[in-house]
Every structure is written in structure tokens, then in C-alpha cells.
Amino acid sequence: MASVTSLTASVHQRLADALSAALPEAGSADPLLRRSDRADYQANGILALAKKLKGNPRELATQVVSGITAPDLIKDIEVSGPGFLNITVTDRAIVETLAARAADARLGVPYKENAGTTVIDYAQPNVAKEMHVGHLRSAVIGAAMVEILEFTGESVIRRHHIGDWGTQFGMLIQYLLEHPSELDHGDAASVDGEAAMSSLNKIYKASRVLFDSDEEFKTRARDRVVALQAGEPETLALWQRFVDESKIYFYSVFDKLDMQIADPDIVGESGYNDMLEETCRILEETGVAVRSEGALCVFFDDVKGPDGNPTPLIVKKSNGGYGYAATDLSAIRNRVGDLKATTLLYVVDVRQSLHFKMVFETARRAGWLTDEVKAHQLGFGTVLGKDGKPFKTREGETVRLIDLLDEAVDRATSVVREKNNAKIGLSEAEIVENGAQIGIGAVKYADLSTSAARDYKFDLDQMVSLNGDTSVYSQYAYARIRSILRDAGERTAVAHPELELAPAERALGLHLDQFGEVVAEAATEYEPHKLAAYIYRLASLFTTFYTECPVIKPAPALEVAENRLFLCDLTARTLHQGLALLGIRTPERL
Ligand code: ARG
């Protein structure tokens, strides 16, 4: 464990360093230090080390115990079981460390040692189509990863790979040409997201009906694709209208989600159009792709269809058209070659895993991905309804995202209104504002609090509940702390390392200590749910602390009160920072 013990190093880190220093062959062995129920920490690394050194683990552990010198840090250390170490740290170490943490605007979260550039592909809805819950997941998980990665010092470039190209545009454009008034809203400036989507939807449906029933229209639509790909100006202008109209809708959804999406970061499939031909030429010339039944294909030994025949990645279809794969491969060239990415991260449904597996492997064969430039799919599972089936309306249609978000906000607003009283004193405008922050937070948190790859049930009742693993619970804990701090009067938050801590104070303090490690882990493992779990535990430990340790009434001794206010304040700041990394707001009063 190579690390520098700095002022803001955690108790955990300092302890790990002290153990490494006391271990024979220091540096080569990880003490595998974990929080434990028996003591504050347990170190399990001696077992592996003993095996390596062909020694007796208990003897080795005893040797470490007598060799370790950190009286300020360690209160008690003992050998247990086959060679574990149980360690209790001093109260002083906890409070001193947290005090140093509190003096740091980053709350002690270290910058990553080898920060690079990550291009993250997320929030990628499709033009002229309604967004669905899958797009919600990509947006929410992606936005959290952006914040977490940036906080650890990584340079992050956002890419919204929207579906804005392909054969369906022939049909749409041709229809609009023949029915020119259908995208007219009169006063264009007043078009809202919903109006934009509803006209797009109508055009989509109507053109689809025509396409399926009218052979001549079908032919005209196909010719229109050719015109689009050739960049024929009138066709392109109409295509642009579809894109612009869709963006009005996308922005309305992202806005409701309290999410910033910047126009230059929207580089959809069409953005790589000029590269497709060259991508295919390189792949063919290097032999990575071969012609098969007229199409340009890449084959893999381990990818076979149900019939046992290999399923290739098709980069160019036999009719000369390019598909999803050619675009993604070109995007890789752009992101690696021009944007100088060291990591490519894709926040995309796990059902597209095979596609990405083949695309990444192709890019490796072509030399675009190397040991220095890695690609990773952060795949997410399906959003299910309460019945455990993929989330649909009763009519079997995809649920409109806006409706879902509105309902979440409505429910959260009722909660806020019900809990409001004379002491909290929220105005109607604040109730509405807080309701939005709670409702949207609840939707995001539900998405972020289970490991991404798993499916989860979209259950609004559970999401906005004040009890249990919800953002609402943590937001209320935050607001309560803010209220305590306002009520503290003359007394202020001051750390007192000389004090003895109550069990609930130690538990809270040791959890606060872990913040930096948790953020680092969420960043390197692409696991925002670990941060969510940390936040929920922090709020729970605070609740226990607040029940067991009076802060204001009955008034404890001055130093005790100050030290407790200090713990309150650091907890609030950590909740605020942690939730902010997940894209969730923390109202001051609830
Ligand atoms: N637009 C796609 C969809 O709705 C997701 C795009 C994912 N990103 C990518 N580079 N292929 O499923």
C-alpha cells in the first residue's frame, strides 16, 4: 500500500501504514484492514503474509503486535483466531483526524495518483423518440460518475451519444416533406418539451403507418436516406429540425432531473458520419474485418449464435449502409485519437454488453485500444414495475419519463408539506422547491443505491419514504443537523481531542473517517452505490448519536457540547458533499 501519510490521512490509512511498517518485508504486504464488530478494525493480511513467508501466522501476528509503535493511534491491539489482529484506536486519534479533515474543503478526499482523461458516454436518448426509464438510468448513473471522477481529480469529457442517424430518418424526413405543417408550433419560442415530443410522436407514428402500408412511400423514404447520407441540403435541414425539436424535449427532461447537459457535449451518432468510411477501410486493410456474404464483418471465436455459427460484428452492411457498430468504432478513434482519452466509460444497458464486448475487442485488434487506453461498460439492469416485470404502463407502453418525475415530485411535495410546521416555517414557494429536490433526489437515489448491473423495482411509495434506505432519510438528517446548528446559539463547533467519546460518537466518527476511501473506491470501481450505502449509514449513525448523546438539551458541559456540534457539522458537510456527488440536493430546512 503505497501512500503518503498527510495531515488529512484517515485513521484507517494511518493504521494501515503503521501495520505495514511493523510487518516484515514492509510494503509488499497489504494488512487488509477492515472495520469490524469485535474491535474498531480487524487486520487479516497476516495470514497471507505468513503463507508467503512459510511462517506461523499467530507468531507473525504476535511479532507485529510487539513491533508496532503508535501509542497516539492505537489503544489496544491483540491477536485473535488463526492470526487476525483486532485493533481499537484512541479517541484522540479519531477526533484529531476529523479535525484535520474539517479544515480541508475536500473533506480529506485525496486526489487520485495517476489521474487521466475519461471520456464518459452517458445520457444518450434517441431523436424523435420518447425517453424511457433506461435513458433515465444512463443519465443518473453517468452524471454521478462524472461528479465522482472529477472530484478525485480525473479529467472528464462528457459525450451524449444520442441516436440521431439511421434509416428511420428517411421515413421521418420524407413524411415531413409531404406534411410540412406538422412540426409548426406557431410561436416557436414558446414550444415546451412536452409539445415538442407530442408532435414528434405523432409524426413518428404516422410515418411508420405509411411506411408499413404504402410501398411507394417506402421507396421514397429509402431514397431519402440516400439523400441524407449524401448531405443533400434540403434533407439535412429537415433532419436538423428533428434534432432541434428533440433537444427541446431532452432539455426539458434533463432540466426536471436537475441535470446539466451542455450542447457541445451532445455528439450523436451523426457526429461520426465522416469517419465511417475510413474506419471500415482501416479495418479491412489490416485484416481485422473481412468480407462475408457482401458485408464487412469481424469474427470472434467465442461469439456464436444459437445455431453454433459465429455471429460477427457487422461494420458495413451488404447494401453499403453503416450501422451502430461502425459509429461506435469511429467514436472510439475520435475519443482516443483526438480527445486523448485514457479511459472510455460507457454507461449503457447490460443488454448491449455483447455489442460492446465485440466493439472493444475489434478496437483492440485494430490497436485503438491498448494497455494504456482501456474501455469499460458500466452496464445497468432493467427498471421493473412493482409486479417485477419490465416497467410498462397498463397498456403495455413505455412509461413517459416526465410523468414519472412529476409524480415523484408531487408525492415528495406532500411529504414536505405534511412535515412542515411553525418551527420549520417553510413558505409555499419553499415547499414547492424542496418538494422538487426531494422528489428528484428520491428517483436518482433509488437508481444509484443498488449495484448498477442489477434490476430494480420502480416503487414511488418506497422511494419517498422517510424511513429506510432512501435519499429522503438522509436529506432529513441533513436538515435536522442544520437546524441543530442554528439552535446552538453561543456554542460553536469545536473539536476537543482530549475528551473521552461515547460509543455512538466513536461509531459516527469512525464512519466519517472512511469518506475518502469510499469516494476513491466508488471512482475506481465505477460503483456509485457504495457511496449511496455510505451516506445512508452515515445518516443512520447520526440518528443513533443524536438519540444517545444530547447536543443542546439537556445541555452537556461546554467542551462536550462543542465537540458534539463539531461532529454534527462534519456529518452535515459530509452528507452534503456525498449527496452532491450523486446529483442530489440537500435543502437547508425540511
Ligand atoms: N441511444 C442508445 C439507446 O438508446 C444508447 C447509446 C449508447 N452509447 C453508445 N456509444 N452506443 O439505446
CA of residue 126 to ligand 1 center, whole Å: 8
Would you state the pLDDT for residue 20?
86
For residue 567, name the pLDDT band (cuts at 50, 70, 90).
Answer: very high
How close is the Cα of 364 to the center of ligand 1, in Å? 20
pLDDT of residue 397: 78
Residues flanking ligand 1, CB < 6 Å: 121, 124, 126, 161, 163, 328, 346, 348
pLDDT at 3 (0 to 100): 43
The whole-number pLDDT of residue 7 equals: 56
Beta partners for residue 156, in sequence order: 118
Q: How far apart are the first and last CA of the chain?
A: 43
- For residue 135, the ligand 1 atom closest to its alpha carbon is 4
- Compute the distance between CA of residue 289 and CA of residue 294 in angstroms, rounded to an integer: 12
pLDDT of residue 93: 97
The DSSP-derived string for 36-60 is: -SSSSEEE-HHHHHHHHHT--HHHH
**Residue 355 CA, closest ligand 1 atom number:** 11
530 contact partners, CB below 8 Å, separation of at least 6? 518, 521, 522
Give me ligand 1 centre to Cα 78, in Å: 54
Please report how many Cα atoms fall inside a 13 Å half-sphere around the Cα of residue 145, on the Cβ side.
32
Average pLDDT, the chain: 94
Q: How confident is the model at residue 8 (pLDDT cuts 50, 70, 90)?
A: confident
Q: For residue 314, list its beta bridge partners.
A: 297
* pLDDT tier at 27, thresholds 50, 70, 90: low
Over residues 542-564, the pLDDT tens digits come to 999 999 999 999 999 999 999 99
Write phi, then psi, for 74 (nearest 5 degrees).
-105, 125
Distance 268 CA to ligand 1 centre (A): 9
pLDDT digits (tens, 9 = 90+) for 530-544: 999 999 999 999 999
Tell me the CA–centroid distance for residue 119 and ligand 1, in Å. Answer: 15
Q: Whose CA is nearest to atom 5 of ligand 1?
A: 124
* Percent of the chain surpassing pLDDT 70: 97
Q: Residue 190's pLDDT is what?
A: 63
Instruction: Write 258-265 long-range contacts (CB < 8 A, 24+).
Output: 258/436, 258/437, 258/440, 258/583, 258/585, 259/123, 259/139, 259/143, 259/583, 261/123, 261/158, 261/160, 262/158, 265/157, 265/158, 265/159, 265/160
Q: In what order do the strands lie in the sheet containing 313-316? A: 290-292, 295-298, 313-316
Ligand 1: centre distance to CA 122 (Å)? 8
Q: Closest ligand 1 atom to the C-alpha of 328?
A: 10
pLDDT at 503 over 90: yes
Q: Whose CA is nearest to atom 9 of ligand 1?
A: 161
| DSSP-assigned beta bridge partners for residue 374 | 343
Contact between residue 162 and residue 126 where contact means Cβ atoms under 8 Å apart: yes
How many whole angstroms separate alpha carbon 531 and alpha carbon 583? Answer: 12
Domains of the chain as residue ranges with CATH: 11-89 (3.30.1360.70), 167-265 (no CATH)
Q: What is the pLDDT of residue 2?
A: 38
User: Which residue in 130, 126, 124, 127 sits closest to 201, CA to CA?
Assistant: 130
> Which tens digit of pLDDT belongs to each residue from 245-261?
999 999 999 999 999 99
Please check the confidence at residue 5 and state whether its pLDDT lies above 60.
no
- Residue of 124, 165, 269 to test ligand 1 pocket, by largest number of atoms within 8 Å of CB: 124
- Rounded to a whole number of angstroms, the CA Rg of the chain reads 28
Ligand 1 centroid, distance to 251 Cα (angstroms): 17
User: Ligand 1 center to residue 127 CA distance, Å?
Assistant: 11
Report how far ligand 1's centroid is from the alpha carbon of 129 (Å): 13
Residue 6 has pLDDT above 70, yes or no: no
Task: Give the tens place of pLDDT for each residue, 270-324.
Answer: 999 999 999 999 999 999 999 999 999 999 999 998 888 899 999 999 988 898 9
**Nine-digit cell string for 122:** 452517458
Q: Which of 130, 138, 158, 161 to mutate to test the pocket of ligand 1 (most atoms within 8 A of CB)?
A: 161
Pocket test for ligand 1, best of 133, 160, 350, 352 (most atoms within 8 A of CB): 352
pLDDT at 1: 38
Task: Give the closest residue (by CA) to ligand 1 atom 4.
Answer: 125
**pLDDT band, very low/low/confident/very high, at 25 (cuts 50, 70, 90):** low
Q: Is it the case that residue 386 has pLDDT exceeding 80? A: yes
Lowest model confidence (mean pLDDT) among 155-159, 399-403, 406-410, 495-499: 399-403
Q: What per-residue confidence (pLDDT) applies to 4? A: 43
